[in-house]
């Protein structure tokens, strides 16, 4: 993620809500998509101080009520009180329960970062408040009488609230032998299923099957049962980005999609720091991947120096590279309004 600048010249970050230097209110402007200082305006409005923007803004209601957002709503969206990220929520946790507000804030921060990333890659988001193509919706739920499964179905992404508990998330990571398990990673993975429904199934199914396999054979339920009974496919590293990707073509796609978003996010961050050589053109996939590999080697060694997990644990063999290139081309697919939806997933 790039860094931004306050009007005072101090550096701002994607999640900033105030400038630590001049103490101005700051946030993510929905019009210029920059984190900027906001000047108080008349009638409870604010104004983006980006000279190229100047948009008049309303604070997102989730920021006012819960400090769970750093975005705003454009003044002309008169019927909206939530920003375009928060209005995707269908269910939020019970905030009367101790600790849930903190966990929900973590989920919202990760969701904003993941959604900003897909928008930066030119991918559309179906808005459930409009008569839009396949609306994207979120539910954040706790285990009750029945456990809540993190997953996707028909544009609805469900995240179990315990994923915002770092201790429980690490226990699950170790239990399943995962090299990484992060909240942002969950969102990126489940968004992969959403974009399969929105873009791939109606327009690029043959090309998908040529790379990832036939999603109908075996069925998802059969593939899932086989995976949890027998583990990943032998020598999965030669074809897949992760062990979980070997379970079924849908999971292969979602894992590859998440890895692609990791790549574009990290290389974009490197581009904002001139000391790191990351001069790549937007359309040059090979340059993006080459730069990501170089950054990954360096970052992995930094992490190993202090005992942290690798930032980039994946191996980019020929098969994986072809799948990432497929993700790179998704923004060129025209958006359709599918009559039905197909994919679903576990976490």
One domain for residues 229 and 328: yes
CA distance 269 to 298: 14
pLDDT digits (tens, 9 = 90+) for 171-212: 888 888 888 888 999 999 999 999 999 999 999 999 999 999
Pairing of strands 137-141, 156-160: parallel
182-to-67, 108, 146, 337 alpha-carbon distances in Å: 22, 13, 23, 31
pLDDT number for residue 338 = 46
Asked if residue 204 belongs to a domain, the reply is yes
Check residues 312 and 272 and name the one with the higher pLDDT.
Answer: 312
At 294 the pLDDT is 86
Residue 326 has pLDDT above 60, yes or no: yes
- What's the first-to-final CA gap in the chain, in angstroms? 24
Q: What is the pLDDT of residue 278?
A: 66
252 pLDDT more than 60: yes
Half-sphere exposure of 129 (CA within 13 A, CB side): 13
7 near 20, Cβ under 8 Å? Answer: no
Confidence category of residue 333, pLDDT binned at 50, 70, 90: confident
11, β-bridge pairs = 5
Same domain, 95 and 229: yes
Pair (21, 129) in one structural domain? no
Confidence of residue 50 (pLDDT cuts 50, 70, 90): very high
Q: What is the mean pLDDT of residues 243-265?
A: 94
Of 54, 83, 112, the position where a domain reaches its end is 83
% residues pLDDT > 90 (the chain): 63
Region 33-48: mean pLDDT is 90
Compute the mean pLDDT over every residue in the chain, rounded to the nearest whole number. Answer: 89
Task: Give pLDDT, residue 327.
Answer: 93
Phi/psi for 13 (5° steps) reads: -120, 170
Q: Give start and end residues of each alpha helix (H) in 121-240.
A: 166-175, 183-195, 201-203, 205-212, 220-230
Give pLDDT, residue 174. Answer: 85
* Residues 251 and 325 placed together within one structural domain of the fold: yes
Domain holding 295, by residue range, is: 84-332
* CA dihedral sign, ordered 203, 215, 239, 293: positive
Q: Where are the alpha helices (DSSP H) in 123-165?
A: none
340 assigned to some structural domain: no
Which residues are paired to 158 by β-bridges? 139, 151
User: Are the C-beta atoms of 75 and 58 separated by less than 8 Å?
Assistant: yes
pLDDT at residue number 340:
44
pTM above 0.75, yes or no: yes
The pLDDT tens digits for 63-108 are 999 999 999 999 999 889 999 999 999 999 999 999 999 999 999 9
72 and 149 co-located in one domain: no
Find, among 105, 82, 83, 79, the residue nearest to 92 by Cα. Answer: 105
């Amino acid at each position: 993620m790039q860094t931004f600048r306050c009007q005072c010249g101090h550096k701002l970050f994607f999640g900033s809500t105030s400038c630590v230097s001049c103490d101005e209110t700051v946030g993510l402007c929905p019009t210029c998509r920059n984190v900027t200082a906001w000047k108080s305006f008349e009638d409870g409005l604010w104004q983006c101080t980006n000279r190229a923007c100047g948009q008049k803004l309303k604070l997102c209601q989730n920021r006012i009520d819960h400090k769970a957002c750093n975005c705003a709503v454009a003044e002309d969206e008169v019927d909206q009180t939530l920003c375009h990220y928060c209005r995707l929520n269908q269910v939020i946790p019970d905030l009367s329960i101790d600790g849930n507000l903190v966990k929900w804030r973590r989920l919202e921060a990760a969701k904003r970062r993941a959604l900003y990333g897909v928008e930066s890659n030119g991918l559309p988001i179906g808005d459930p408040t409009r008569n839009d193509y396949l609306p994207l919706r979120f539910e954040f739920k706790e285990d009750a009488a029945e456990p809540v499964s993190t997953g996707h179905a028909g544009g609805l992404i469900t995240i179990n609230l315990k994923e915002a508990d770092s201790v429980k998330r690490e226990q699950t990571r170790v239990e399943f032998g995962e090299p990484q398990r992060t909240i942002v990673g969950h969102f990126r993975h489940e968004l992969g299923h959403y974009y399969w429904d929105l873009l791939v199934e109606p327009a690029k199914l043959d090309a998908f099957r040529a790379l990832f396999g036939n999603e109908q054979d075996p069925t998802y339920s059969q593939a899932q049962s086989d995976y949890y009974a027998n583990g990943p496919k032998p020598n999965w590293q030669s074809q897949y980005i992760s062990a979980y990707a070997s379970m079924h073509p849908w999971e292969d796609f979602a894992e590859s999609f998440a890895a692609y978003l990791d790549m574009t996010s990290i290389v974009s961050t490197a581009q904002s720091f001139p000391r790191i050589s990351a001069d790549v053109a937007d359309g040059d996939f090979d340059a993006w991947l080459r730069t990501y590999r170089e950054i990954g080697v360096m970052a992995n060694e930094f992490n190993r120096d202090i005992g942290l997990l690798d930032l980039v644990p994946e191996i980019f063999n020929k098969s994986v590279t072809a799948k990432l290139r497929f993700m790179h081309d998704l923004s060129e697919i025209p958006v359709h309004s599918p009559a039905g939806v197909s994919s679903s997933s576990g976490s």
